[in-house]
C-alpha cells in the first residue's frame, strides 16, 4: 500500500509500497526509526486512515469498499487500540474507563460491569483498581487498564503504538507479559515499537524505513525484555 500527504504543491510519501500479512492469532512487531512510517502504517491497519493506493483486508473484508460510517462500525467491532500515552480519562474511574466502548454499544450497566471486570482481570489487573481514578495508579497499571479497555469488546486485532514508550523497565515488562498472555489466549497483536527488547518478544519482526518494508526476521527469545523473568 501507499500513503501520500499533500501540502500545497508538495507531496510527501509516508508509505511506499508496504505489504504486510498478519495471520490470525499471531504477535508481530513493526520496528523502525522515527519518521519511517510506523504510525502511518498502524493508522491504516487500524482503519483510522485510508491508503492513497492499496487495500486493507480484515477477516476477508475489503475495507476499501466500506463507507466512512461502515468503516467506523467495522473498526469498533474488530480492532482495539493501545497508545503510548494511555489515553485514559482521569475524571472517570477505572471501571468507567474500561466500559466506555460498551457504553457506545448501548449495553446495559450490569453487563458492562461484568465484561469490564473480566477484561481487567484478563490483563492481570486488580479488582481494587476498579473505583480508583487512573492517576492513582502507576504507569504500568494504567497501561494494563488501557489494554483492558482495548479488549473489552473482544476485537479480532489489538494494535499497540509504542505501548511501553512512557514506562520504566519494570512496568514495561508487565505490559509485555500481558501481551504475551493475551496472545497465548489467541489474541492477534501488532506492536509498533522502537525498543528492540520489546520487538524481540514478538513472533515476527518487520523492519520499516523511509516508508518501505526493508526486512523481516525471527526474534531471538533470549533478547526479549522478559527473558529470564
- State pLDDT tens for residues 37-88: 998 999 999 999 999 999 999 999 999 999 999 999 899 889 999 998 899 9
In CATH terms, 2-223 corresponds, of 1.20.1740.10, 3.50.50.60, 3.40.50.300, 3.40.1440.10, to: 3.40.50.300
Residue 229, pLDDT score:
61
Query: In the structure grid, which three cell numbers stand for residue 80, read together?
Result: 482495539
Residue 105, pLDDT score:
85
- Alpha-carbon dihedral of residues 105, 185, 84, 6, nearest 10 degrees? -70
- The β-bridge relationship of strands 79-83 and 157-161 is parallel
- C-alpha–C-alpha distance, residues 191 and 100, integer Å: 23
Residue 76, pLDDT score:
87
Residue spans per domain, the chain? 2-223
* Exposure of 53 in the CB half-sphere (CA atoms within 13 A): 8
Under-50 pLDDT residues of the chain: none
DSSP secondary-structure letter at 161? E
- C-alpha–C-alpha distance, residues 71 and 47, integer Å: 7
Amino acid at each position: 500500500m501507499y500513503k501520500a500527504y499533500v501540502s500545497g504543491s508538495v507531496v510527501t510519501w509516508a508509505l511506499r509500497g508496504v505489504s504486510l500479512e498478519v495471520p490470525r492469532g499471531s504477535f508481530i512487531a513493526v520496528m523502525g526509526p522515527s519518521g519511517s512510517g510506523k504510525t502511518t502504517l498502524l493508522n491504516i491497519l487500524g482503519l483510522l486512515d485510508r491508503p492513497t493506493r492499496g487495500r486493507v483486508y480484515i477477516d476477508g473484508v475489503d475495507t476499501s469498499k466500506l463507507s466512512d460510517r461502515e468503516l467506523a462500525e467495522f473498526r469498533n467491532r474488530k480492532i482495539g487500540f493501545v497508545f503510548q500515552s494511555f489515553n485514559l480519562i482521569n475524571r472517570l474511574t477505572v471501571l468507567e474507563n474500561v466500559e466506555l466502548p460498551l457504553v457506545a454499544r448501548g449495553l446495559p450497566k450490569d453487563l458492562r460491569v461484568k465484561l469490564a471486570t473480566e477484561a481487567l482481570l484478563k490483563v492481570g489487573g486488580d479488582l481494587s483498581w476498579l473505583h480508583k481514578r487512573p492517576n492513582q495508579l502507576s504507569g504500568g497499571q494504567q497501561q494494563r487498564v488501557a489494554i483492558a479497555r482495548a479488549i473489552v469488546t473482544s476485537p479480532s486485532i489489538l494494535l499497540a503504538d509504542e505501548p511501553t514508550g512512557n514506562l520504566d523497565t519494570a512496568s514495561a515488562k508487565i505490559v509485555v507479559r500481558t501481551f504475551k498472555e493475551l496472545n497465548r489466549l489467541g489474541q492477534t497483536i501488532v506492536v509498533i515499537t522502537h525498543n528492540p527488547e520489546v520487538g524481540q518478544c514478538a513472533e515476527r519482526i518487520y523492519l520499516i524505513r523511509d516508508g518501505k518494508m526493508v526486512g523481516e526476521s525471527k526474534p531471538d527469545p533470549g533478547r526479549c525484555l522478559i527473558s529470564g523473568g
